[in-house]
Structure 1
Amino acid sequence: MKLQDFISMLTSQLKEEEICHETAIRNEKFFQAHKIMQRITSLRKAINKAAAHSHENLYVSQVKFQLL
């Protein structure tokens, strides 16, 4: 799986979790909303790490190209 596809998959999952969180809050299911918020936080961290890794790879590729 390409890194960009992985980031897209995580982003889609994040959107779904955000919708679930809003629904849980509306239905006053606060414990469930808290658990969903933990998953949202984990997904955001994973997306940020993957995006940072993507930029590192791009930077390394640019440096290698300049050295050639």
Structure 2
Amino acid sequence: MSLSIESVLAAKGIHPKPEHLKKLESKWEEIEGLKGNLANINLDDADISPPQHPRRRSRCLRNY
């Protein structure tokens, strides 16, 4: 069961005007559509961080 945007905001004490609520709901649906089906994505394909240089990694680990 998913909560509505209005109920989540109300629980936080935020009561937007009806026209703002429509904009928020529209934006939320847009974001959900962009996310697509990420549940089954391969994590190796999703990692966009640059690889670390081996020498730098060893220096970082020494600090811990």
TM-score (norm 1): 0.35
Structure 1 or 2: more helix by fraction = 1
Looking at both structures, which has the greater relative contact order when contacts are Cα pairs under 8 Å and sequence separation is at least 6?
Answer: 1
